[in-house]
A = this chain, B = another copy of it.
Amino acid sequence: MNSRQRLAIIGFGAFGRLIARHLRPHLSVCVCDPHHRSNDLPQVDLVVAASCDIVVLAVPLSQFETVLQQIAPHLRPGTIVMDVASVKVEPARAMQQILPEHVQIIATHPLFGPESARDGIAGHRLAWCPLRGTAHRRVAALLRFLGLQLIATTPDEHDRDMAVVQGLTHLIARSLDQMARPTTRLTTESYRRLAEAVAMVRADSPELLHMILEANPYARPARQKFLATATQIGTVA
């Protein structure tokens, strides 16, 4: 991948900024976001963004389909469109349905947040679902060069696993957070791990919570199963 390739980040929130920081040494990065402007990266409109070689969608899920429809007519043959949403079934379906056949598609989910990547992205994991085309191999090579660990999966497998991994972690963390006074003197090793998990997800945005708890089709069944299991154990005990 030569350094002249142009990458557009659509949606310049916390994650968009993280992407920009790590990719700008290697690609010509521009930003498209009417609300969050970059201080030093070119700001472009959706039509120009769509004309880039790689288009990364980092917008909230609620705007996802609208943005896809807006960029679709302007995407060039061979362009790579990627998303970074925390769920994969729904964005993957939308991209495959709305984007023209001549566009390549990769669905991804970085399994880390701007917070945990403060000291760098090397060693972090990224769920990786190549959906259309072969250019994903070159993008994968760049991301691996940056130290990321790519975990090949499918949107369906991703959402099934994340219903437990993210869905239940958040449900448990939020429940403990609401009820328990923080104990710092009398603790066990296992409780400290639990408290660490709670602290890690405490700052997650409402948008992320909605995705994790609602937009994942497997989240509600996983939650119901956990609650039923816990209620049974908690009542019988």
Residues of B within 8 A of A187 (CB): 111, 125, 165
Asked if B176 and A233 sit within 8 Å, CB to CB, the answer is no
Chain A contacts with B in 132-187, Cβ cutoff 8 A: 151, 153, 157-158, 161-162, 164-166, 168-169, 171-176, 178-181, 183, 185-187
0/1 interface trace, chain A 33-61, chain B, CB 8 Å (1 if under): 00000000000000000000000000000
A122 at the interface (CB under 8 A from B): no
A188 in complex: contacting residue of B111, B188, B224, CB < 8 Å:
B111
- Residues in B with CB closer than 8 Å to A213 are 234, 237
Q: Are A112 and B188 neighbours in the complex by a CB distance under 8 Å?
A: yes
The smallest C-beta distance from A154 to any residue of chain B, in angstroms, reads 11
B-side contacts of A233, CB under 8 Å: 171, 174-175, 178
Q: How many copies of the polypeptide does the oligomer hold? A: 2
Neighbour of A165 across the interface among B111, B175, B183, B231, CB < 8 A: B183
Task: Knowing A175-B229, A180-B168, say if A197 contacts B193 (CB, 8 Å).
Answer: yes
Q: Give a binary string over A189-212; 1 marks a CB under 8 Å from any B CB, 0 the rest.
A: 111011011001100000001000
A165 contacts across to B, CB distance below 8 A:
183, 186-188, 191
Which single member of B186, B193, B225 contacts A158 (CB below 8 Å)?
A: B186
Most buried by B among A158, A183, A193: A193
Question: Known contacts A175-B226, A230-B172: does B189 contact A193 (CB below 8 Å)?
Answer: no
Q: List 30 A-B contacts (CB under 8 A).
A: A111-B188, A125-B186, A151-B185, A151-B186, A153-B186, A166-B191, A168-B176, A169-B190, A169-B191, A172-B230, A173-B190, A174-B233, A175-B229, A175-B230, A175-B233, A179-B225, A179-B226, A190-B196, A190-B200, A193-B193, A193-B194, A193-B200, A194-B194, A223-B234, A223-B237, A226-B230, A227-B227, A227-B230, A227-B231, A230-B230
